[in-house]
Amino acid sequence: MKRLWTIIGVHDVPRSFAWYSALFGLPSAHPAHDYFGQILDHDGTVLLCLHKWNTHEHPSLTSPDRAGPGNGLLLFFRVDDFEPALQRARSLINELEEEPHTNPNTQTQEFSLRDPDGYYVTISAVATE
């Protein structure tokens, strides 16, 4: 099995950690460090890693000023609890970027929003057979 660990640069790891945990309906927790945290699914699968900008010498994480957060990146998550995820999302933000609709490519419901750092996040329902 192969797993991808997506790491995004953020201004405030604990704040983003709480935001994504709430969006995914995960228990309230704290990141391991103030500069790095992993959002884990209930089974321990890494969903997303959060890394504070310019904490280490990673070339692509030096500053959001070099390329705006989300430039060339779309965070796309498939969830098995679409309606509750939509309710959680609405409680976290004032306005969705895209209201729920059927994606013509996947034939599943999805919506999009911005996270606290400006990343574009799409939540898509897992296809049912």
Q: In this structure, is residue 36 part of a structural domain?
A: yes
The length of the chain is: 129
Q: How many domains does the chain have?
A: 1
Q: Which CATH number belongs to the domain containing residue 87 in this structure? A: 3.10.180.10
The answer as to whether 89 is a domain residue is yes
pTM of the model: 0.83
Contact predicate 10/58, CB 8 Å: no
Is residue 1 one of the residues assigned to a domain? no
| Residue ranges with strand state E in 2-119 | 7-10, 36-40, 46-52, 75-79, 98-102, 109-114
Work out the pLDDT band at 73, boundaries 50, 70, 90. Answer: confident
Whether residue 60 has pLDDT greater than 90:
no
CA distances to 6, 34, 48 from 10, in Å: 13, 11, 12
Report the distance separating Cα 96 and Cα 90, nearest Å: 7
Mean pLDDT of 124-128: 86
Q: Distance from first CA to last CA of the chain, Å, rounded?
A: 23
Asked whether the predicted pLDDT for residue 66 surpasses 80, the reply is no
pLDDT above 90 for 62: no
21 in any annotated domain: yes
In a domain? residue 24: yes
Domain membership of residue 14 (yes or no) is yes
pLDDT in tens, 88-119: 999 999 999 999 999 988 899 999 999 999 88
pLDDT digits (tens, 9 = 90+) for 29-39: 999 999 999 99
Note down the domain range covering 21.
7-125
Nearest to 37, CA basis, from 9, 63, 69? 9
Compute the mean pLDDT over every residue in the chain, rounded to the nearest whole number: 89
Q: In this model, does residue 70 exceed pLDDT 70?
A: no
In a domain, residue 15? The reply is yes
98 domain residue, yes or no? yes
